[in-house]
Amino acid sequence: MLLKGKKAIVTGASRGIGRAIALHLAQNGADVAINYAGNEAKAAETVKDCQAYGVDAFSIQANVSEEEEVKTLFKTVTDHFGRIDLLINNAGITKDNLVMRMKADEWDSVVDTNLKGVFLCSKAAARPMMKQRSGAIVNIASVVGVLGNPGQANYVAAKSGVIGLTKSLAREFATRHIRVNTVAPGFIDTEMTDVLQDDKREDLLSQIPLGELGRPEDVAEAVTFLASDQSRYMTGQTLHVDGGMYMP
């Protein structure tokens, strides 16, 4: 097992990609703290499914864009596990609108959760990781963060910001043996993409060389790789898990 005994926290892990990541980490032997913002019942389900792999798992509510809540979140997790080896910054929201129609608070809330949340959680996790002289942070960005997407200026700006933030964090923490990398998923079959209308869906599939939507597990595989020692010599990188949509 790649992650036997590692202590992990996954933000936004009650459903979608976050849930798949939590399960995959658990399957690989990691103990997992399941953070969620609002859906307590779904978080409890993820906890139960992680525990089925024989690991320690528990859920904890916190809004990652609120500094005080993040501090409490990491204190609770550190007290529970005694250390933190892996942080997966997955929590994200969308509030799509054309720029000409987008309200400032739609911009703020998306940037606060998707970008500031990564900063706050990474800062909080870095404390125990620096003391340990080890740790891995994996951020979840998006293919639209590199391609752009009409109607998602706020989301695109935040996700693009995550890729830059990853590089800065990687450089700041490298001497303490904390690696920081990003996974940029393409269009993955989750509730977030369920809202796409059928004609938009067809159009989308034509832009994906591999010709299908990704599965949450496809992202989870890449995250587990970047969280494990298999990627010990990688930091500051972005892995594109998008069926070939973006080729650097």
Give the annotated binding-site residues for NADP(+).
12-15, 63-64, 90, 155-159, 188
Q: Nearer Cβ to other proteins, position 78 or 152? A: 78
CA distance linking residue 194 with residue 105, whole number of Å: 24
Binding mask 156-185 vs other proteins (x if CB under 8 A, - otherwise)?
Answer: ----------------x--xx---------
* Alpha-helical regions (H) of 3-116: 16-27, 40-51, 67-81, 104-111
Distance CA 64, CA 52 (A): 27
Q: Which is nearer to other proteins, 137 or 213 (CB)?
A: 137
Which one-letter amino acid corresponds to residue 67? E
231-233-237-241 Cα dihedral, nearest 10 degrees: -20
* 130 binds other proteins per the rule CB under 8 A: yes
Residue 131 is a binding residue for other proteins (CB under 8 A): yes
Q: Which tokens hold the place of 229? A: 């020692």
B/e letters for 116-152, b = 16+ CB within 10 Å, e = fewer, are: bbbbbbbebbbebbeeeeebbbbbbbbbbbbeeeeeb
CB of 178 to other proteins, least distance (A): 11
Residue 75 binds other proteins, judged by CB under 8 A: no
- Within 29-68, the residues that bind other proteins by CB under 8 A are none
Number of chain residues interacting with other proteins (CB under 8 A): 6
| Least CB distance to other proteins at residue 166 (A) | 18
CB of 66 or CB of 221, closer to other proteins: 66
φ/ψ bin of 151: left (φ > 0), alpha (ψ from -120 to 50), beta (otherwise) = left
Q: Minimum Å distance from CB 130 to other proteins?
A: 6
CA 189 to chain centre: 16
Active site residue 53: no
- Judged by CB, which is closer to other proteins: 133, or 232? 133
Catalytic residues: 155
Q: Which residues bind other proteins (CB under 8 A)?
A: 127, 130-131, 172, 175-176
